[in-house]
Structure 1
Amino acid sequence: MDQTAVHTMAQTGESLAELAYRQIEEMIVTLKLEPGAVVNERTLTDVTNMGRTPVREAVQKLAWEGLMEIRPRSGIAIAALNPQDFSRVLDAREGVERVLARDAALYGASLHHERLKAASDAMMAARSGNDVIGFLNADKIFDTVLGQAAENPYAARLASPLQTHSRRFWFRLQRPGSLEQSAGAHTALIKAIIAREPGKAADEATRLIGYLRTMAP
C-alpha cells in the first residue's frame, strides 16, 4: 500500500494500529507476505513505516483472525494457504453473510447506501481496468460498510476474518473472468440492499458465495 493511500486513510481518523493492520492484511491477501513465510517485527515495521506498538497490535489482531501465528523466539509465521480450505471458509461464511445482507437492506441508512454505491462503482471501474488490487480494496470497503449497515456487530465480527480469508483465496485462485464475475455478483447484492429488499439481498449473498464456490478446488 503506497504512502498516498496511507495518508488518505489517516484522514478518516483511523488509528495507527488500524492503518498498520490494513497494510499488513493487504500484503497477506495479495501474497506479498508469502504463505508459510516467517517474518519478524522489525521487518513489518520497515515495510509499513509504522512503529513497534501499532505493528504489534496489528499482528495480534491478524493472529486472532488466523492469518498469522506468533511463535515466541521464532518469529511471526504467515498462515499457510491450502486451496482445499476455501470451501470450509465459505461454509462458515454463507449463513452470516445472509444475515448481514438482510439486515443491511432493513436498517442501512442513506450514508451507508452512498458508500455501498461508491464501492460498487469502484469495483466496476476495477473490472474495466483489470485492476485486481483496486477491486480488493473496494471489496474490503464493501465488507466494512455492510457490517456497519446491518447494525449487527456480532455478525460483523464473525464475518470479518472469513471475508479476509476469502479475499486471499480469491487472489490465489483467480482466473480469466473472475474479476468480472465477482464485480457483477457484488453489484447485484449492493443493488438489492439499496433497494431495501431484505429477502432478495439475502439471496444475492447466497449467489455470491455460490460463485466463490466455483473457484474452490
Structure 2
Amino acid sequence: MIATPLQTPASASVSEEVYRAIRGAILDLTLEPGSTISENALARELGASRTPVREAIQRLERDRLLFVFPQRGTVVAPLDLDEFRSAYFVRSSLECAAAAEAARLAGPADVARLRQHVDAHTAALAVADESTFFALNDAFHLEIMTIAGVPSVWSVVQNAKVHLDRVRIAHLTRASTYPLAPIVEEHRQLVAAIAAGTPDEAAAVMHAHIAKVLHRVDLLRDLRPELFEMPRELTAQIRTISGPAAAGRRLHSNDKSQ
C-alpha cells in the first residue's frame, strides 16, 4: 500500500498530491526498485482518477525515478550510481558554500535557532523516532541555507538529494542499522563552527558530514546489489530512451555488483 486515499488540502492540487504520494513510496522503497507499477492500480489505491496519476508518472520519469516502456509498462528506477554521484556533487557544493556563508552572517538569534534544532534532534533520537528525525534533519539544513541568505537554493538541493535519500532509506530498511547519533554530533560541530564565525571550518565540517553517504552506498551495493539492477530484458529499451552510454553505464554497474 502506498497511502490512504488522498485528502487534498486546499493549497495542493490533486495532481501534486498524487505526485508526492508516489514519489514518497519510491523514496521509502514501498515501491521497490525494478518493480513494475500500474497506472490503473495506483489510481485505485490513491482514490484518484487516471489523469493526475498519468501526470505524476510523467513528472517522475523526468525526475529519473521511473522508466516508462511502451507496451511493457512503468518500472521503478533502480538505485542509480550516476544519479547518486550527481546528487552528491550538487549537495556537497551548495551546502558547503552555504555553511561557510552562514558562519560569516550568523547572529546570536540564528545560532540559538540552530541549537534548538539540535535539541529537537536529540529528543527524536532518544525515542527512536526515525521519521521525525529525518524531517528535522532537513529542517536543520534549510535553516543553514536561510541564515546564509539563500533559502530558495534548498529546493535545488531537495530535487537532487532524492537519489541520496533513496540510498539512505534503503540502507536503513534493507541492509543494516543506519547510525543516527553521529548525525547529531556532526550537527553540533556545525553549529559550533557557525557560532565561532569560522567559514572554512564550517565548510569542512559540512563536507565531512555529507561525505558519510559515500561509504553507505558502497556498503549497500555489497549487501543488496539487486537494488541497483534493472531487469536485463529492459536494458535494450533503456538504451532507446536514454542512449547507448546510459544503458552501458547501468549494465556496467550491474556487472560490477554481481
| Length-normalised TM-score, structure 2 | 0.61
Deviates more, 1:114-123 or 1:198-207: 114-123
What amino acid is aligned across from residue 28 of structure 2 in structure 1?
T
What amino acid is aligned across from residue 179 of structure 2 in structure 1?
S
What amino acid is aligned across from residue 151 of structure 1 in structure 2?
V
Q: Percent identity?
A: 25
2:69 equivalent to 1:68:
no
In structure 2, C-alpha distance between the alignment counterparts of 1:45 and 1:193, rounded to whole Å: 48
SS at match of 2:216: coil
The answer for unaligned runs of 5 or more in structure 1 is none
In structure 2, C-alpha distance between the alignment counterparts of 1:22 and 1:109, rounded to whole Å: 35
| Length-normalised TM-score, structure 1 | 0.70
SS at match of 1:93: helix
What amino acid is aligned across from residue 185 of structure 1 in structure 2?
E
Q: CA RMSD in A?
A: 4.1
* 1:73 to 1:216, Cα distance in 2 relative to 1, 3 A: same
SS at match of 2:180: helix
SS at match of 1:76: strand
SS at match of 1:35: coil
SS at match of 1:178: coil
In structure 2, C-alpha distance between the alignment counterparts of 1:134 and 1:81, rounded to whole Å: 24
**Of the candidates 131, 134, 153, which is equivalent to residue 136 of structure 1?**
134
In terms of Rg, which structure is larger? 2
SS at match of 2:29: coil
The offset of 1:29, in angstroms, is 1.6
The offset of 1:70, in angstroms, is 2.5
In structure 2, C-alpha distance between the alignment counterparts of 1:141 and 1:62, rounded to whole Å: 24
The answer (yes or no) to whether the contact 1:185–1:208 under 8 Å persists in 2 is: yes
What amino acid is aligned across from residue 77 of structure 2 in structure 1?
A
In structure 1, C-alpha distance between the alignment counterparts of 2:214 and 2:196, rounded to whole Å: 26
Deviates more, 1:157-166 or 1:178-187: 178-187
The offset of 1:91, in angstroms, is 3.7
The offset of 1:37, in angstroms, is 0.7
**Cα offsets for 1:69-107 (capped at 9, x unmatched):** 223343221111257975564244311222344456667
In structure 1, C-alpha distance between the alignment counterparts of 2:157 and 2:88, rounded to whole Å: 10
Q: Which residue of 2 aligns with 1:214?
A: 215
* 1:210 to 1:64, Cα distance in 2 relative to 1, 3 A: same
Deviates more, 1:36-45 or 1:139-148: 139-148
In structure 1, C-alpha distance between the alignment counterparts of 2:161 and 2:119, rounded to whole Å: 20
The answer for unaligned runs of 5 or more in structure 2 is 219-258
**Cα offsets for 1:119-176 (capped at 9, x unmatched):** 65554343222233333344455566666665364x5454223211111101112333
The offset of 1:33, in angstroms, is 0.3
The answer (yes or no) to whether the contact 2:95–2:145 under 8 Å persists in 1 is: no
**Of the candidates 22, 29, 34, which is equivalent to residue 31 of structure 1?**
29
Aligned residues: 212
Q: Which residue of 1 aligns with 2:181?
A: 180
The offset of 1:51, in angstroms, is 3.8
The answer (yes or no) to whether the contact 2:79–2:163 under 8 Å persists in 1 is: no
Q: Which residue of 1 aligns with 2:9?
A: 10
* 1:40 to 1:117, Cα distance in 2 relative to 1, 3 A: farther
The answer (yes or no) to whether the contact 1:105–1:196 under 8 Å persists in 2 is: yes
What does 1:1-217 correspond to in 2, within 5 Å? 10=9, 13-81=11-79, 86=84, 89-102=87-100, 120=118, 123-142=121-140, 150-151=149-150, 153=152, 155-174=153-172, 175-176=176-177, 178-186=179-187, 188-189=189-190, 191=191, 195=195, 197=197, 199=199, 200-217=201-218
The answer (yes or no) to whether the contact 1:40–1:75 under 8 Å persists in 2 is: yes
In structure 2, C-alpha distance between the alignment counterparts of 1:214 and 1:139, rounded to whole Å: 19
What amino acid is aligned across from residue 9 of structure 2 in structure 1?
A
The offset of 1:3, in angstroms, is 5.5
